[in-house]
A and B are shown apart, each in its own frame.
Chain A
Amino acid sequence: MAYLEVRNIRKSFGSTEVLKGIDFDLKQGEVLSIIGSSGSGKTTLLRCLNYLETADEGQVSLNGDVIFDANTIKQESSDQIRTRRLNFGMVFQQFNLFPQYTALENVMLAPNQVVPSILKAKKAEFKIQYEDLPFIERTRTINREVRKYRKYLLDNNKEMAKELLTRVGLHDKMGNYPCELSGGQCQRVAIARALAMRPNILCFDEPTSALDPELTGEVLKVIRELKETTNSTMIIVTHEMEFAKHVSDKVIFMANGVVEEAGTPKQVFDHPKSEKTVAFLKKAVEDTEYEEIGAVDNV
């Protein structure tokens, strides 16, 4: 049984059917690249996995548990969805960093929001632990212990955030605000931020499309390192064909809302079966060459 199983995902916006029954499997530690022309439904598929869009039909299961079912999703509370959402991390095309926070604060923000609920549970534990103490002393002890634990949690989150930012090569930019960072640096902060909630699967929605060409390299390098060092399971929607070819274990080519072709990078890029794939890849190569000629001209 595969780690992630996506079955028959369908999604329409009005009368336009954007996803016409998507199926795929993913093993733990695998990297999946989704390629295809604009409007083929790649981003919508990713957004459906993250519950940013609700699929009209279909099922998603992770590790054997059904985490999305179009038939029952309406009955679920927002809290349930919120918890399940944490299975997936998401890195956006436009970064969507929080502008009023520094790089470090951006990474810490979400983990810190969980602290109060952890403390509440811990307080209940302390109450039992110090049951025998007289009332006033008990209250005092519990409050002291809770404060200590709170500091411990917050320090922990800070350490983790620093570690993550170091991992993406930004140890010297922790105190900077997003407006003081380059696009590539912003996207790396966004990756660290997504990792902070320890997602099982990390999703990238065209992570380099909003970047200047000379900045895409640093972001792709971080993604590659993630694969090599932490063996993370990742789904990457991308237009970077070379990158998709080298980093992924599996490639899906989408066209008009269906999976036109799926397989290993070798199968899809070197021996495509579908004519649409052939045409798409040919065009992608031409575009890259054109860009390169353009770049020479600009010099």
Chain B
Amino acid sequence: MSFANVTLELLSGFGMTCLLFILTLAFALPLGLIICFGSMTKFKPVRYIVRGFVWIIRGTPLMLQLFVVFYVPGMVFNTPIFAPFGDYGRFVAALIAFVINYACYFSEIYRGGIESISKGQYEAGQVLGMTKGQIFFKIVLKQVIKNIVPPMSNEIITLVKDTSLARVIAVADIIFKAEEILSLKALIWPLFYAGAFYLIFNGLLTLLFRRTEKSLSYFHS
């Protein structure tokens, strides 16, 4: 198998990796905020349930969660619920598992960010007659964003690499493709070559995060 053929094969897998990454991010970022508010609410039953859920998701391996999402609904309802998605059934199952898992991690990052804002900032807004919404959007939000950029970039870079776990339910990501070449053609170098794809992708992300951090460095909270 030539270098060009391997590259093409890996690229098709990498497309899947990117798709999983981007969609996970798109759904998990807002869902994380909802979970975050749930884990901070004054209404105790909701808070306990949400915190218990976060504990379970963060306390068990993502690989296990992939199996649970893919197999358990079918076993419970006795019908293949991912069947309507056809070829994409496995992908959808993986996406759901990733979104839930990462939303829980993001929610904890959000919570840390919100709790790091001093009470004085809220009080200063209150005594100036601002509403809760104005205080959150005009005063708190930007400081929270500044505070969570470093842990967020960490988590997002981890997500890029974690997408490779999706191959355990046979989602054809880049590592899946490389392993296929390994078993069919007895070539091991495509696996290492796949690593270069991750490296470049994460390099670009790192640059992006550094720029974001820099653009927020004009103030200290």
Contact = CB atoms under 8 A, between A and B. Distances in A.
Nearest to B140: A98
Contact of A110 (B121, B128, B218): B128
A100 B219 contact: yes
A92 B124 contact: yes
B127 A99 contact: no
Contact of A197 (B121, B123, B129): B129
Contact of B143 (A100, A177, A196): A100
Contacts of B221: 99-100
B120 interface: yes
Interface in B93-151: 118, 120-121, 123-132, 134, 138-139, 142-143, 146
Given A52-B123, A96-B121, A177 B218 contact: yes
A257 interface: no
B42 interface: no
Nearest to B218: A177
Given A98-B121, A113-B134, A177-B218, A89 B127 contact: yes
Interface residues of A, number: 29
A85 B146 CA distance: 30
B126 A85 contact: yes
Contacts of A16: none
Nearest to A86: B129
A94 B139 contact: no
Contacts of A178: 219
Interface of A: 50-52, 78, 82-83, 85-86, 88-90, 92, 94, 96-100, 109-110, 113-114, 177-179, 193-194, 196-197
Given A100-B143, A110-B130, 17 more contacts: A50-B127, A78-B132, A82-B131, A85-B127, A88-B127, A90-B123, A92-B120, A92-B123, A94-B118, A94-B120, A96-B121, A100-B146, A113-B129, A113-B130, A177-B218, A196-B128, A197-B128
15 contacts: A51-B126, A52-B127, A78-B132, A82-B130, A85-B126, A90-B124, A96-B120, A98-B124, A99-B143, A110-B128, A110-B130, A179-B219, A194-B128, A196-B128, A197-B129
